[in-house]
Amino acid sequence: MEKLKKVLPALVLLSVLLGLWSLIVVRSESAIFPTPWKVVTGTAELISDGTMFGHIAASLLRVGAGFLIAAAVALPLGLWMGRVTIVYRTLNPVFQILRPISPIAWIPIAILWFGIGDASPIFLIFISTVFPLVVQTATGVHSIEPRFLQAAENFGVPRWKLYVKVIWPAALPQVIIGMRISLGVAWLVVVAAEMIALRSGLGYMIIDARNAGNRYDLVVSGMIVIGLIGLLLDALMRRLEGLRSVRWRYAR
């Protein structure tokens, strides 16, 4: 009952929005823009023939590959930058210059370097996620309370153990924030890349539906699926914040 009370306002708002959507389309007598029911039937059509799941899997695989490669590079580099001042002062200006560049601006370069296969969107996801992850990880290290590090040094903790037992757990809350932001950006980027250079994935599905007889019911269906998957990915990342290793820094 308590959970129902929490989600009830959102359900009411969604119901109102769906009602307005249907009313506007019917009143305007639009021959192109679909009603909610047409979107439902179009989605069912894509699910029944397996097309929807194929596109979802293609997009998720690209996001997963690019994000994992970025994390493998960014996390150790961010920890190193956070601990070594000269490394931070050397690399941080470069990352701060590259970080604001829109990932979409890298699309021509990605196609030039990697062609129009899966490597291009994976590279774009890597570029869009590695810089925020590096910066956020370094920020997490800088925000560690000095008394934690001083206590470890007083006990003669080896350097590798200092990273594993103190620095990494203390920086992890900030790292999780960086991962949430980066994963959201990655999901946006892969959809944009698929609209331009690929023949699979949710982005391609939307463009193909528009070109193949103006199937805007499938276009809206793809948009809704993208939003729902993005919400699910964010919820999964939020679950990480409840892990004991993440709460270590805030333990009472």
Angle between helices 216-240 and 202-211 (to 10 degrees): 170
pLDDT at 251: 46
What band does 56 get if pLDDT is binned at 50, 70 and 90? very high
pLDDT at 63: 92
56: Cβ–Cβ under 8 A, 6 or more apart, which residues?
202, 225, 229
Summary mean pLDDT of the chain = 83
Measured CA to CA in angstroms, residue 193 lies from 162, 164, 205 at distances of: 41, 37, 12
Asked if the model's pLDDT at residue 37 lies above 80, the reply is yes
Question: Does residue 250 or residue 75 have the better pLDDT?
Answer: 75
Least confident window among 138-142, 167-171, 235-239: 167-171
Q: Which tokens belong to 48?
A: 């029944």
pLDDT in tens, 90-102: 988 888 888 888 8
Structure-token match 């007598």, residue found: 29
pLDDT at 169: 78
Contact 203, 191 (CB under 8 A): yes
Query: How many angstroms separate the most distant Cα atoms in the chain?
Result: 76
pLDDT in tens, 44-53: 988 888 888 9
Asked if the model's pLDDT at residue 2 lies above 80, the reply is no
pTM: 0.83
